[in-house]
Chains A and B, each alone.
Chain A
Amino acid sequence: MTHRWKWLLVGALLLTPARAFAQIDFTGEWAPVYHEDRPERLPGPELGDYTGLPINEAARLAADSWDADRISVVTQYQCRPHSSDYGMRGLGNLRVHRELNPATQDLVAFRTYMPAWGSERTIWMDGRPHPHEYAEHTFQGFSTGVWEGNTLVITTTHQKINYFRRNGVPSSDKRTSTEYWTRHGEFLTVVTVVEDPVYLTEPLVRSQNWYLDPGQALPTFYCEYVPEVPGPTPDAVPHHLPGANPYLTEFADWYGLPLDGARGGAETMYPEYRLKMGPPHSTPPDRCQRFCVCSGFECLVNPRRGRQ
């Protein structure tokens, strides 16, 4: 190499902008892993199952009023998407791609697509600020990301009211969620931390996993508003009045749990709760009889009776 070329090379190096890139690549198609809480996340949660949620009394009251007929009778609920924080828990197949600035090749955003409700999301990586608190709220909210070492840290605000669990446990539009995306080989772990001053007494921290599955052909999602069940009146919203929901103890009874544990709260999430938790709400069955073995989308209601 001549001296002239050497100096050109040094000059080019000096002119190259120093970028704080941490190029862990999340792009690709990911398949969800349901090895935790599968009955809740696929078939759906039982009524009155608030376990593991640091909820306050207001959230419990709202959840107790939930009637699942609401989804069938009230058309506004029928195609209600999961918001970005709950969508990552409900999980689903996931595509991630990068948007680059064609002039600079800088990373502008990650964009994600999940087939459930056709959820599309943008995670801005260009340093833009979050909008004013009065700006529009959406189900996916407004997300920005920064790198911390090998982890992508995403902050999301401006989400609409949604669920912490889709049996009526509400989340408010005041919440902020922070996600930590970390890739280990072909596995992706996303930790979601949600702070909600309206319904939580401490942050809700959950972690979920995907594996790289580039062979997927993700479908589109259609949801059509259809009156599935005739309501008592056109504007009826199925509900239970306070103290009048007869189904709230079923979950504890089916699985041999103490009722106060089933009803959630921060204190029930720490090891010392085992020392003070009461006995099962009723005499438990001698073996599991409901949603005990799961495969694919199906859970066996009673393994001895076969599939339902």
Chain B
Amino acid sequence: MDLTGYWVSVISEDWRWRMVTPLKGDVASLPLNAAAIAQAEAWDPAKDTAAGLQCKAYGAAGIMRLPARLHITWQDDNTLKLDVDSGTQSRLFHFGGTIPANTRPSWQGYSIANWERPPRGVETPNTIPIFARRTGTRGRSLEVTTTRLRAGYLRKNGVPYSENAMLSEYFDYRKHPNGDEWFTVTSIVRDPTYLESPLILSSDFKKEADASSWRPTPCEAR
């Protein structure tokens, strides 16, 4: 699976919450607890801007839902880099290793990546395929786990996630019948502070031929 290149988010879902900044208090669809709803009610974009927190909606748990273009490259043999033009953010997916000690929380957190292993029992090398005739399937999805997040927003209208949030993502590439290349990222946000259950979203991106539409813009609180 090759994810490198330029990609654009196609907003066919949640349009009213993604393409425009939703109205205050519009938290429909999200499994929020009372504390999260109260936080969203207190959203004040002017206050965020004054405090230098206008990137709160551009953190890892929210940024893949924003209308944006992505540029994915290999930074080195073990690091996949995902740049986002909306908010001019960069995510780094580290293959192998562990989170360095004293990693401070940040908007994009610290991401550990691996090529997803197949379900247990499916791909067992050196078994004799007489009585179980599966040849198995290769694990193919890119699995990314992100922690060490700075508290941010799931939606631009102040729906919060906390520093305790953990983001699990699965990236799946495919080619459509008309030849277009796409990937879908299934995102699972677990946040004991603000979510009653894991938040499960899937976002779709279409490959672009070049960088002609790439336009980095700064974070905006509104």
Contact = CB atoms under 8 A, between A and B. Distances in A.
Interface residues of A, number: 77
Interface string A134-160: 000000000000011111010100000
B202 A207 contact: yes
B136 A23 contact: yes
B141 interface: yes
Nearest to A304: B25
B37 to A, nearest CB: 7
A293 interface: yes
A19 B200 contact: no
Interface in A191-218: 191, 193, 195, 203-209, 211
A23 B28 contact: no
B102 interface: no
Interface stretch (A68-76, A118-126, A182-190, A224-232): A182-190
B16 interface: yes
A206 to B, nearest CB: 5
A49 B15 CA distance: 10
Interface in B67-91: 67-69, 86
A184 B23 CA distance: 34
Interface string B7-36: 011111111100110111111111100000
Contacts of A268: 11, 15, 19
B99 interface: no
A287 interface: yes
A277 B186 CA distance: 29
Contacts of B15: 51-52, 261, 268-269
A243 interface: no
Contact of A13 (B12, B129, B136, B184): B129
A269 B12 contact: yes
Interface of B: 8-16, 19-20, 22-31, 37, 67-69, 86, 116, 118-119, 122, 128-130, 133-141, 143, 170, 172, 174, 176-178, 180, 182, 184, 186, 188, 199-204, 206, 213
Interface of A: 9, 12-13, 16-25, 33-39, 49, 51-54, 105, 147-151, 153, 155, 176, 178, 180, 182-185, 187, 189, 191, 193, 195, 203-209, 211, 255-258, 261, 268-274, 277, 284-288, 291-294, 299, 303
